[in-house]
Amino acid sequence: MAFDSFEAFVSMGGHGPYVWACYIVFFVMSFVLIQQSRARRRVVMQDLAHRQNGADTAKTDKAGADFARVDPAKH
């Protein structure tokens, strides 16, 4: 341990605010990007499952319509 006490660890010899600001911003922003990526994955999966289950009846369902690449050859 490079510090004598927890207080010394937090204050970092007066540099605490700089060091901790960096670490907090780093972890918060990384966490946000990771959660956003996971949420999007979940939404896409649910959307695909939803479309698959009601594939014939829900053709007009617009949710996720932007995502689907329409291949005329298959229609």
34 contacts other proteins (rule: CB under 8 A): yes
- Of 4, 5, 7, 33, which one interacts with other proteins (CB under 8 A)? 33
35 contacts other proteins (rule: CB under 8 A): no
Q: How far is CA 17 from the centre of its chain?
A: 27
DSSP per-residue codes, 19-71? HHHHHHHHHHHHHHHHHHHHHHHHHHHHHHHHHHHTTTTTTT--TTTTTPPP-
Applying CB under 8 A, which residues contact other proteins? Answer: 1-3, 9, 12-16, 18-19, 21-23, 25-26, 29-30, 33-34, 37-38, 40-41, 44-45, 48-49, 51-52, 67-69, 71, 74
